[in-house]
């Protein structure tokens, strides 16, 4: 997944301890990791509709210039492509949740300011501009994290793992 991803592995903490117990008892984490992937994918997609990061904090508001052009239903939801691209993949003793959308990392982590210059020609022009310009100083994008584990995700994963351990 080249865009942005979250890796969940059996390492430390309560989640890691339960995953280690499951490995010791069942020998295979595949089904449990698949369920973790389902839990986190569903909650990540739901956060797009809520406009919040994994901790529940609201995403940075859109700039007025962006709002003036907006066609989609909300922040990071212009075409719903990014939201719909969230997938998970089980690899060994880990599950990866993420997206291969190239611009995902820019939204997850934000970007510094940058200068936009014309590629072909001497100036930039767009509808509504007062005149052509030689460059535009873009202010950058604020981080709007969508990948990550919320407290509710952790609770749901721990409950699911406890059920798996009880059934093994």
User: What digits encode the pLDDT tens for the residues 83-125?
Assistant: 999 999 998 888 999 999 999 999 999 999 999 999 988 999 8
Domain residue ranges in the chain = 4-105+144-167
Q: pLDDT by residue (tens digit) across 123-150?
A: 998 887 788 999 999 999 999 999 999 9
Quote the pLDDT of residue 50. Answer: 94
Give the alpha-carbon dihedral of 152, 156, 157, 158, to 10 degrees.
100
What pTM does this model have?
A: 0.81
Among 4-13, 57-66, 69-78, 100-109, the range of highest mean pLDDT: 100-109
CA dihedral defined by 23, 29, 32, 37, rounded to 10 degrees? 130
């Amino acid at each position: 997944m080249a865009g942005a991803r979250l890796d969940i592995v059996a390492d430390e903490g309560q989640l890691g301890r339960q995953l280690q117990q499951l490995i010791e008892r069942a020998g295979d984490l595949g089904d449990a990791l698949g369920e973790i992937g389902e839990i986190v994918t569903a909650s990540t997609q739901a956060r797009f509709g809520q406009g919040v990061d994994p901790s529940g904090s609201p995403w940075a508001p859109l700039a007025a210039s962006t709002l003036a052009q907006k066609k989609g239903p909300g922040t990071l939801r212009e075409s719903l492509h990014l939201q719909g691209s969230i997938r998970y993949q089980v690899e060994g003793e880990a599950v990866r949740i993420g997206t291969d959308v190239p611009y995902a990392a820019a939204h997850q982590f934000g970007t510094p300011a940058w200068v936009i210059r014309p590629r072909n020609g001497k100036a930039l022009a767009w509808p509504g501009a007062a005149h052509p310009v030689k460059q535009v100083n873009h202010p950058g994008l604020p981080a709007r994290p969508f990948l990550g584990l919320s407290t509710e995700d952790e609770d749901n994963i721990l409950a699911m793992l406890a059920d798996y351990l009880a059934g093994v």
